[in-house]
Amino acid sequence: MFSNVALRSILKASTDVFRESGVLSKLAGSCSAVAARKWTCGSVLTPGPGGLCGAGRFAIQPAVRHYARAARTRGPARKTVPESQLSDLPPTMLKMDFAKVPLAQTTDDVVKRLLSLELASHSDKLQLKKQQLITMVQKNERDRSSAEVKIAILTARIRNYQEHLQKHRKDMANKRRMLMAIDSRKKLLKNLRLVNYDSFENVCEKLGITYTFPPEYYRRITRRWLAKKAFCIKVYQETKKLKAEQKLKPRMKRSLATTRTAAGAGGQ
């Protein structure tokens, strides 16, 4: 409170001093002269003969707002989106549920259009595409659980995720699902390659899959990692010994029981 009162008294005293000396009147006169010159000056900044600017020859240009500025394009132009895997399906093809119905082939055009792929959803088209890929690699008509069929289903699903992520790059949930599907397909391809190489080559050729070998495992060796590995090996060996002893205990009990019974029978 005391500080505020002191500041007010100091400011009041300083204004009284300036008024007495006539400084405030001079400043007011110069400001009015500048304001008068502002409206009479030219539109272009022209330096005067005395140096920087002459009297009445300077101009305050209006602020320029870039309302009609062209939009900046960052980076190269957008790449063309590749062709979808569903583009080879003709729109006149019937849905999977109505393909084997004979009545659907003889109906009028309006009903056919409703039952065809022209007005079908994306899931219906994807289901039909999965069926096409399954028929390419399955062993017989009833084959639904072999490795080849699973690889075909995962391939259609992976390509669908890839097309979706090209339009929606920030969809991390579908990206995670795509990576999980790729990992499971890699495992199936690896097992199929070890078990039946001819079938593996046939699946890769028909489905257009390029199989690449996984990179070699590499880990930087440190003292901490070596000590941890030695400790884990020691723990494993000790647990192995304990398990072996636990397995021997019932056998020893049985052998002792048999020896006792034999000794009792011999004493009698």
Q: CB neighbours of 184 closer than 8 A, spacing ≥ 6?
A: 154
| Amino acid residing at 14 | S
Based on the domain organization, do 127 and 198 belong to the same domain?
Answer: yes
pTM for the model: 0.51
Structural domain of 28: 2-39
Would 264 be classed as within a structural domain?
A: no
Residues in the chain: 268
Interatomic CA distance for residues 146 and 112, integer angstroms: 35
Based on the domain organization, do 145 and 171 belong to the same domain?
Answer: yes
Would 176 be classed as within a structural domain?
A: yes
- How many structural domains comprise the chain? 3
Q: If you average pLDDT over residues 40-58, what whole number do you get?
A: 45
Q: CB neighbours of 168 closer than 8 A, spacing ≥ 6?
A: 174
Based on the domain organization, do 170 and 243 belong to the same domain?
Answer: no
Based on the domain organization, do 164 and 235 belong to the same domain?
Answer: no
Quote the pLDDT of residue 182. Answer: 93
Based on the domain organization, do 130 and 156 belong to the same domain?
Answer: yes
Phi, psi of 94 (to 5 degrees): -75, 160
DSSP string, 101-124: -GGGGSS-HHHHHHHBGGG--HHH
Would 52 be classed as within a structural domain?
A: no
Would 48 be classed as within a structural domain?
A: no
Would 95 be classed as within a structural domain?
A: no
Q: If you average pLDDT over residues 241-248, what whole number do you get?
A: 88
Interatomic CA distance for residues 96 and 124, integer angstroms: 8
Based on the domain organization, do 195 and 137 belong to the same domain?
Answer: yes
- Extract the tokens encoding 21: 């000396």
Would 83 be classed as within a structural domain?
A: no
pLDDT tens sequence across 191-236: 999 999 999 999 999 999 998 887 776 678 899 999 999 999 999 9
Based on the domain organization, do 196 and 228 belong to the same domain?
Answer: no
Q: What's CA 51's distance to the chain center, in Å?
A: 62
Based on the domain organization, do 126 and 192 belong to the same domain?
Answer: yes
Domain C-terminal end among 183, 207, 231: 207
Q: CB neighbours of 166 closer than 8 A, spacing ≥ 6?
A: 81, 82
Can you name the residues that pair with 94 across neighbouring β-strands?
116
Based on the domain organization, do 231 and 196 belong to the same domain?
Answer: no
Would 230 be classed as within a structural domain?
A: yes
Based on the domain organization, do 202 and 229 belong to the same domain?
Answer: no
Based on the domain organization, do 229 and 161 belong to the same domain?
Answer: no
CB 135, CB 156: distance < 8 Å: no
pLDDT class for 252, splitting at 50, 70, 90? confident
Q: What is the CATH number of the domain that holds 187?
A: 1.10.287.10
Based on the domain organization, do 161 and 236 belong to the same domain?
Answer: no
pLDDT tens sequence across 72-102: 656 555 556 667 888 888 888 888 777 777 7
Helix, strand, coil in percent for the chain, rounding step 5: 65, 0, 35
Would 202 be classed as within a structural domain?
A: yes
